[in-house]
């Protein structure tokens, strides 16, 4: 990452020397690049935290019923565990989440148990219902 930043800075300096860009534009580009790198670092941290959380949840060996998973925790996907934990943290039932989102309670149950995978639009509705945001980055 640092090597990439050094190359970008060198390119900007060359463009500035060759008067291909103004000092103002060079400053704007540097700022955008730094903001992008900061966001990427934040995303990496978020993924690391999510990974730790998932390991912690799995490590607690929650009873299958606690996860609502009739097949055992091995069949439960990461999204399902995350949805279950977010719903518990919000202090709402599956039915209350269904009422907030317009998504059938039985479907929410299937998502939490890892039996069914929601579409991206459905994930957005779930996030909205839980008062959360949704961010997807390809890094």
Question: Which residues neighbour 90 within 8 Å (Cβ) at sequence distance 6 or greater?
Answer: 97, 130, 131
Question: Is 71 or 98 the better-scoring residue by pLDDT?
Answer: 98
Cβ-based neighbours of 71, under 8 Å, separated by 6 or more: 64, 113
Q: Could you confirm whether domain 64-132 is CATH 1.10.1200.10?
A: no
pLDDT at residue 136 above 60?
A: yes
Residue pair 45/77 in contact by the 8 Å Cβ criterion: no
Name which of 55, 126, 49, 122 is nearest 84 in CA terms.
126
> How many Å from the N-terminal Cα to the C-terminal Cα in the chain?
12
**For residue range 95-133, what is the model confidence (pLDDT) as tens digits?**
999 999 999 999 999 988 888 889 889 999 999 999 998
Q: What are the pLDDT digits (tens) for 10-56? A: 888 888 888 888 888 888 888 888 888 777 777 777 777 777 777 77
Please list, in sequence order, all residues whose beta carbon lies within 8 angstroms of the beta carbon of residue 64, skipping any fewer than 6 positions away: 70, 71, 72, 73
pLDDT of 71 strictly over 50? no
Higher-confidence residue: 27 or 67? 27
CA dist., res. 103 & res. 110, Å (int)? 11
């Amino acid at each position: 990452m640092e090597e990439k930043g050094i190359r970008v800075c060198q390119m900007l300096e060359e463009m500035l020397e060759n008067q291909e860009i103004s000092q103002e534009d060079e400053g704007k580009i540097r700022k955008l690049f730094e903001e992008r790198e900061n966001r990427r670092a934040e995303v990496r941290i978020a993924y690391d935290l999510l990974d730790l959380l998932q390991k912690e949840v799995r490590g607690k060996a929650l009873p299958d019923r606690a996860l609502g998973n009739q097949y055992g925790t091995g069949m439960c996907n990461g999204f399902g565990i995350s949805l279950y934990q977010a719903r518990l943290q919000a202090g709402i039932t599956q039915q209350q989440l269904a009422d907030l989102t317009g998504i059938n309670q039985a479907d929410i149950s299937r998502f939490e148990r890892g039996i069914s995978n929601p579409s991206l639009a459905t994930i957005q509705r779930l996030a909205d219902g839980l008062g959360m945001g949704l961010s997807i980055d390809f890094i």
